């Protein structure tokens, strides 16, 4: 297996507080790795390290075998795209939001391109000129996913992207991500609160707790694991 991303003794501290503690592991190229763990485990922090929004305090992250800092930050961030948990939107229309990755490179996103991406996330053409601020939480999440896809990232980082969606939409988005994964050979790291989702979509799964990677491996093997912590977590004991 070729690692798309490799973590080597990665620690991340903030205000002298340890957020991530000695993370080691690989994310295999072209595969979907689901990332589970209770709130505050450090999952979001780990994704932001991959996208270059944060830098590790110690240790090294490799992107396709090159140290992460050997990439220009803007190049890295287009290559390793993230859909942020809070699904932030910028003021203006849905089109303006979708076109943002292009605008940042002084390019213009053709409207039909934008519509294609909208359709991909289950929104129709009529949304294009709506004000993004008027959208529901779920619709914002969909726009946010489409916006990241516009950069055509080689690695896609997803941070609880279906948390505000109804079951039908969840299914739609899961199918979309699986399709993108297969069609473009995109490597995906997918944080989810939903254990069933983690099992459904993951080739591999990482279980995180209190800043540590406590278990990782092929998804279907992992859930038969006897590790008490994981069993507790799976059965929802550590979930608030």
Ligand X SMILES: Nc1ncnc2c1ncn2[C@@H]1O[C@H](COP(=O)(O)OP(=O)(O)O)[C@@H](O)[C@H]1O
Coil, helix or strand for 175?
Answer: helix
Q: Is 100 in the site for another protein (CB under 8 A)?
A: yes
Q: Is 44 in the site for Mg ion (CB under 5 A)?
A: yes
Coil, helix or strand for 26?
Answer: strand
Alpha carbon separation from 174 to 107, 145, 187 (Å, rounded): 30, 12, 15
205 has which bridge partners?
A: 34, 217
Q: Tokens in use for 175?
A: 């199918």
Q: Is 88 in the site for another protein (CB under 8 A)?
A: yes
Segment 132 to 191, residues that bind another protein, using CB under 8 A: 147-148, 151
Of the pair 31, 77, the CB lying nearest another protein is at 77
Instruction: Please enumerate in sequence order all residues whose Cβ is within 8 A of that of 166, keeping only pairs 6 or more positions apart, or say none.
Output: 138
> Which of residues 53, 109, 128, 178 is near another protein by CB under 8 A?
53
Q: Is 221 in the site for another protein (CB under 8 A)?
A: no
Residue 186, number of CB atoms within 10 A of its CB: 21
Q: Is 104 in the site for another protein (CB under 8 A)?
A: yes
Q: Is 42 in the site for another protein (CB under 8 A)?
A: no
The contact set with another protein (CB under 8 A) reads 14, 51-55, 69, 73-75, 77-78, 81-82, 84, 86, 88, 90-91, 100-101, 104-105, 147-148, 151
């Amino acid at each position: 297996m070729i690692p798309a991303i490799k973590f080597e003794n990665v620690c991340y501290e903030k205000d002298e507080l340890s957020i991530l503690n000695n993370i080691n592991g690989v994310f295999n190229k072209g595969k979907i790795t689901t990332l589970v763990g209770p709130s505050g485990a450090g999952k979001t922090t780990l994704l932001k390290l991959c996208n270059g929004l944060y830098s590790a305090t110690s240790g090294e992250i490799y992107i396709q075998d090159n140290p992460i800092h050997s990439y220009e930050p803007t190049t890295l961030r287009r290559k390793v795209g993230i859909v942020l948990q809070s699904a932030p939107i910028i003021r203006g229309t849905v089109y303006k939001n979708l076109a943002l990755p292009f605008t940042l490179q002084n390019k213009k996103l053709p409207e039909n391109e934008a519509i294609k991406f909208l359709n991909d996330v289950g929104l129709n053409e009529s949304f294009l000129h709506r004000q993004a601020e008027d959208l529901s939480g779920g619709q914002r999440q969909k726009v946010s996913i489409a916006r990241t896809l516009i950069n055509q990232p080689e690695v896609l980082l997803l941070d609880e992207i279906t948390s505000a969606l109804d079951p039908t939409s969840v299914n739609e988005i899961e199918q979309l991500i699986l399709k993108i994964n297969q069609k473009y050979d995109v490597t995906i790291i997918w944080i989810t609160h939903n254990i069933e989702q983690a099992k459904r979509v993951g080739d591999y799964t990482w279980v995180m707790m209190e800043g540590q990677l406590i278990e990782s491996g092929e998804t279907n093997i992992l859930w038969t694991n006897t590790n008490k912590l994981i069993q507790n977590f799976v059965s929802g004991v550590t979930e608030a």
